[in-house]
Amino acid sequence: MLSTFTKPIAFWQQEYSTGNSQVDGQHQQLFEIVNALHDAVVTRKDTYTMQVLLECLANHTIEHFQTEEALMMRVDYPDYDRHKQTHDGLLSKVDNLLMKFRDRNTAVVTTEITQFLTEWLAHHIKGEDKKMVQFFQNQ
């Protein structure tokens, strides 16, 4: 668990539970990383800390999306292409932010970015991921 000093921005709620323990565990990790990133923004952590947290977010996001995509491919999920497009869109934004940040800090991580990540996660989990897991359970 990542430590934070400020109030968390992303809260895991039971309504986010998909019923798949691996997917839910990875979602919870992503919430923790977003909270740690938010904390780093609010407490004005150093550049190195911000970069480490952004890389952690990118790596966990990639790992999580690969998990979901493998599950979808295994059962021939009919909405795979659309679901993957939403994954690719977020990965592109996170990669772009990280690339700009590494390039002499031309990107600034703000609370607006951490709020976007929180909202994206909640919306995606409650919509796309719940539909995906429901399909798995009906197989």
Q: Give pLDDT tens digits along the chain (139 positions).
A: 566 677 888 888 898 998 889 999 999 999 999 999 999 999 999 888 988 998 999 999 999 999 999 999 999 999 999 999 999 999 998 888 888 877 765 557 888 888 999 999 999 999 999 999 889 888 8
| 2 touches 36 (CB < 8 A) | yes
Looking up tokens 């993957």 gives 84
Q: How far apart are CA 87 and CA 92, in angstroms?
A: 9
Q: State how far the alpha carbon of 23 is from the alpha carbons of 56, 70, 97, 110, in Å.
A: 17, 12, 25, 27
Q: State how far the alpha carbon of 37 is from the alpha carbons of 65, 74, 77, 83, 94, in Å.
A: 20, 33, 33, 25, 13
